[in-house]
Each structure stands twice: as C-alpha cells, then as structure tokens.
Amino acid sequence: MKQRINLLIAFSVIALIVLSTVQCYLVKTTYDYKVAQFHTEIKNTIARISNNYSDIDSVIVARKEALYKQLSENYIQGKNNKSEVKTYILENEYNDVLTQKIQRKFQRELPNLKIDFAIVLNKFVLYQNAKKIDTIFSEKPFIQNKLYGNLISLNHAFLVRSYVGTTNGTYANQDYKLLTEDSMYVSVIDWEMIILGRMTFVLILSLLSILTLITLFVIAIKALIKQKKVNDIKTDFINNITHELKTPLTTLGISTRILERKDIRDNDENFNAIVDTISRQNNRLQNLIDQVMANSLAENGIELQKEKTETEDFLLSIIHDFKITFPKVNLQTDFQTQKTILVLDKFHLTTAFLNVLENAVKYGSHKILIKTRIVQNQFSISIEDDGIGIEKNKQSLLFEKFYRVEQGNLHDTKGLGLGLYYVDQIIKAHQGSVSVVSDLGKGTQFTILLKV
C-alpha cells in the first residue's frame, strides 16, 4: 500500500505541475493579448489626435514647411551641405513649443494616461527634374533625430504611426519636390500596471484555481496517509490481541484436558495447582478484555472511585506485588516524602503504575528506581529504568492509542499498544500529568505529577 500511495503522490504532483503550467500559459497568453489590445487602442487614439500637425498649430507647421523649403533651396544652391541641412532641421526653433502643445492635447484627450512621446525624422529626400534623386539623409529611427517630444530613449516605446510629407517648389526655373518621413513613438508610464489592472479578475481566478488544486491535493494526501496509518494500527492491533488471547486460551484448554485425568483429580496438590492456573489465565483474559474496553474511553469518560490514600504505603504495596512477579528485577526506592495523603482511585492507579513497570521489564530493564518528591505543590513520582531507551522522535507518540515502540529485534515484543495510553488517561483523569525523558541505550524516566 505504501508503494501505491507513493505512486499516487508522484502522479498527483505531476498532474498538479501540468495543470499549473497550463494555467500559467493561459495567463501569459491573456497577458500578451491584453498588451496587444492596449497598444492598438493607444495607437488608434494617438494617431487620431495627431494625424495632422496643422490641427495642433497651423502657424508652426507653416513655419516648419517654410524652413524645409529654404533648406532645400540652399542645398540646391550649394550654400548648405547634407550635414548642415540635417543639423538645422533638428535644431529648429519651434521644437519646445510644438512639444508642449502636443503634450497638452494628449492630456486633454487621454486624461487617465501619462504619455511620453518623440517624433523622429527618418528621411529627407530631394527630387529634381534634371537630376536623380538626392537623398540628403535616410536613417533608421534614432532618438538623436528627434524633432519634438520628451522621450529620451526609444527602447521601451512603441511606434504609433509614420507620417510622410511632401513639399513642391521652383527655384531658378527648375521644379523640385521634397519628401520627408517622420515617426511618432510613445511610452505609456506604468502601462504594465494598467494591463494587470485589466487582468485582475483573471489573475484572481487563476490564483484561486491553483490554490484550490494545491489544497485538495494536500487534503487528499493527508487523508491517504491517515487512512494508511489507521489500517496499519488496526492490523497491528488485531495481530497483537490475537496473540495475547491465544496464550491464555491455549493454557486453559490444556489445563481443562489435564483435569479430565483421574490421577490429577485424586491428587489434591496437583488439582489445586491446575485450578490456580485456570484461575490466573481466566483473570488474564478478563484483564485483557477490561483493558480493551477501558481504553475505548477518554479521560473524562473514566469513572473513578476515589478515596483518601497514604500514597507512600500505596506505592510500597504495588512494589511488593511487582517484586513477587519479577524477582530478578532489582527494584529500589528513594522516597523523600512521608505520609502524603492524596485522593486517588487505587484500582486504576495500580494498573497504571504496573503498566509502566512492566513496560520497563519488557524493554530490557534489570534495575528500576522509584522516587517521590514534592515539586511545586505537586506529588512527583519518577520511575527510572536502565532499559534500551527510546528514540527522541518516538517519545511524543508513546501515549497514543495502539502505539508500540519498534526497535531492533524487540519489534516482536507483544502487547496491545494500550498500556501507556491507559496510563496517560488515568493520570489525566486525576488532573495530573505524565512525561517521559529518554536517551537511546541509556534508559528511560517516566515522571508522574499528582495534585497534593
């Protein structure tokens, strides 16, 4: 099942990446479309506004045409060379005035946009009847050839339109024709934010879609992992309780068959020994059943029968019984309290303390030290052992229902995984707490705190 979950996670991640990529591609395509749409909109609007410079200032346009005509005739006469003609055109006296007039018109017509522009001269070509075409200059659009405008670079600007103008004249009985071409470039300040503003709904929808996919993916994976954990716990629990029940049932079956023998029934000593065995195994079965049923309750569902108890004597009685059961274990005490009276449920607490002690033996302890202290108005009982210890990353799981520590060859140590869960629930029902400190290979210390 783990392999199937890993494959499912891998395929889900791939699907999530593919869907996210497709979503990003659609957003990018929409963005490019919005950019093209915005540029077309700006081009059409500005081209309409500045289609003819005469609409902006006919006087300045007339002066410009007169300058062009004068420079053409000077060139024909040989008074100015090509370089001088270009310089005089670009350094015209009406540059600033026409720039301001065009800028104000943009502000009136497009009040919601901040626009920088530049009109650059591309060509200045002279046609004479008796001669071939004379190209005074013809260059690609350069910001250095700016006639009007406030742009300082064409790098982030886009072309709005190109304007071709013609001027006819006669000099020394010779007709000539002047052809000029200029281009307008504009840059809309913060145009990216304008595009993103128009895409707000698409961006929010795409972001929500991706977040929803990721959320559903995480929820599904968590549910799968949780389901796997539940299945593993269920399988482990069934296997362990089957093993735990099988042993006393097998013993009871053998003991019953032995009792059928006449020589056993006639021997009082053997008969009593078998009866004692049956009684112990019956009690063990009953304890297993009671433990499973008791641990199906939370701490607030456990009914306690509390009574005033001299705690040190109560602990000594538990220690006495434990020593009889495990005579090879070196169990020592260090009580620094005397005649402490607490209100306790002796039955449940006896089971809880025995669970901790039996766990210590189960996991390799040969020496156990039980201490009592008064710590911040609480009765502290610490149980230290020299067992195999518990890894740090597993200590927080010790008190979970059905959890069993698996370490090395002790993986086969049997149990229901309910002992420490039961301890935790009983101590909580007494408004106390239980904690564990352990180092792998150095033993474990459980500390139980009860209200004084």
Query: In the listed set 134, 169, 191, which residue is the last one of a domain according to the structure?
Result: 191
CA distances from 351 to 8, 221, 264, 288, 330 (A): 44, 39, 35, 12, 20
CA distances from 396 to 157, 227, 277, 383 (A): 63, 20, 38, 18
Asked if residue 408 is part of any domain, the answer here is yes
Q: What's the angle, vertex CA 47, arms to CA 42 and CA 49, rounded to 5?
A: 100
pLDDT tens, per residue, the chain with 452 residues:
667 777 777 887 888 888 888 888 888 888 888 888 888 888 887 777 766 666 666 777 788 888 888 888 888 888 889 888 888 888 877 788 888 888 888 888 888 888 888 889 999 888 876 567 888 888 888 888 888 888 888 888 888 888 888 888 887 777 888 888 888 898 888 887 888 888 888 888 888 888 888 888 888 888 877 777 767 666 666 665 665 666 667 777 887 888 778 787 778 787 887 887 787 777 767 766 765 655 554 445 567 788 999 999 999 988 887 787 788 889 999 999 988 999 998 888 888 888 888 888 888 888 999 999 998 889 999 999 988 888 777 766 777 766 666 554 444 455 555 678 878 888 888 889 999 888 887 889 999 999 88
Tokens of 107: 């502000």
CATH at 372: 3.30.565.10
Instruction: Give the CA-trace dihedral at 249, 251, 253, 256, to 10 degrees.
Output: -130
Asked if residue 94 is part of any domain, the answer here is yes
Print the domain residue range for 329: 302-451
DSSP H or E run through 444: strand 443-451
- Residue 169 burial (C-beta neighbours within 10 Å; 0-12, 13-18, 19+): middle
Q: What's the angle, vertex CA 313, arms to CA 376 and CA 433, rounded to 5?
A: 35
Asked if residue 270 is part of any domain, the answer here is no
Query: In the listed set 168, 191, 214, which residue is the last one of a domain according to the structure?
Result: 191
DSSP H or E run through 244: helix 200-259
The pLDDT of residue 341 is 92
Tokens of 391: 């890894």
Domain count of the fold of the chain: 2
Statement to judge: residues 186 and 314 lie in one domain: no
CA distances from 292 to 224, 247, 346, 412, 419 (A): 27, 17, 19, 20, 10
Distance CA 304, CA 348 (A): 8
Asked if residue 64 is part of any domain, the answer here is yes
Query: In the listed set 175, 191, 207, which residue is the last one of a domain according to the structure?
Result: 191
Whether the model clears a pTM of 0.75, i.e. scores above it, the answer is no
Asked if residue 99 is part of any domain, the answer here is yes
DSSP H or E run through 291: helix 268-294
Statement to judge: residues 55 and 178 lie in one domain: yes
Asked if residue 167 is part of any domain, the answer here is yes
Distance CA 362, CA 244 (A): 14
Statement to judge: residues 445 and 317 lie in one domain: yes
Asked if residue 283 is part of any domain, the answer here is no
Asked if residue 229 is part of any domain, the answer here is no
Name the phi and psi angles at 448, rounded to 5: -110, 130
Residue type, 325: T
